[in-house]
Structure 1
């Protein structure tokens, strides 16, 4: 067991979410599903209580804790992409399966977990500083899904 694991609180769909993540992102898998040994405040004995899974190499635990603590943008997974095709694939998988678009490369999946689908070209542009970073940043601020060609054009001025 890893020393540090991200715990994501779900209402009741931790297993569905984990299986979706495992099917969507490389280096992702579901490794265990644990059922409640007794009734608990938001479930019954035998219900899925926790799911051990990995998302893009990050160890996670999904907890079916009930509706008390919904997901917020205070936590997000950031997925670095190499090109528009990869950006589109992840974005469309999340948004196209009951998720929702947001601004600047952010979207939410159907369970409310936030994702930043971030092309490396954007990260590199912002890291350069100066006018190139300003132009890339201003271009990004007009986008929902990041448009790699538009970021590259903004970098060039």
Structure 2
């Protein structure tokens, strides 16, 4: 069976990122670390790859050097079940130099983009009243971290 594994390339922080990410989610762990051998572009013995799982989804992180950077064109989306979960992940992911973004998007301290949203975001933005649906969308567009109660009231 084929399995699609996100492959994330860092300058030199793959191990730090994997350790941080696995601390955030249940059913997460580092499964394998490999090191650069002599004769490669990176220092011998430095971390080359870190294989890890987030909520049982496999990932690979590579230290590939400074010419690899992340863009907002790729993000990890987390569907949260409560405002408390949104608040906790938002605080941890924007900490230590992370950057908040609009509509539940952020960049973590390693430059990776995330979407931290309620699992029922589609339902929260819908309404049989078109004016209310428009108010809800307008409210969300003004938010950085998603506020479930504010969307319900809009």
Is TM more than 0.5 here?
yes
Tell me the C-alpha RMSD between the 2 structures: 1.9
Unaligned runs of 5+ in 2: none
Count, aligned residues: 153
Per the TM alignment, residue 29 of structure 1 is displaced from its structure 2 partner at its CA by 1.3
Secondary structure at the counterpart of residue 30 of structure 1: strand
**Residue 54 in 1 paired to residue 58 in 2?**
no
Secondary structure at the counterpart of residue 151 of structure 2: helix
Is the 1:122–1:151 contact (alpha carbons within 8 Å) kept by the matching residues of 2?
A: no
Go from structure 1 to structure 2 and tell me whether the alpha carbon gap of 1:108 and 1:129 turns closer, same or farther (over 3 Å shift). Answer: farther
> Which range moved further: 103-112 or 93-102?
93-102
Report the equivalent of 1:93.
Answer: 92
Runs of 4+ in 1 over 3 A off after TM superposition: 126-130
Unaligned runs of 5+ in 1: none
- Distance in 2 between residues matched to 1:92 and 1:111, nearest whole Å: 15
TM-score normalised per structure 1: 0.89
- Distance in 2 between residues matched to 1:8 and 1:27, nearest whole Å: 19
Per the TM alignment, residue 69 of structure 1 is displaced from its structure 2 partner at its CA by 1.7
Secondary structure at the counterpart of residue 104 of structure 1: helix
Report the equivalent of 1:119.
Answer: 118
Per the TM alignment, residue 87 of structure 1 is displaced from its structure 2 partner at its CA by 0.5
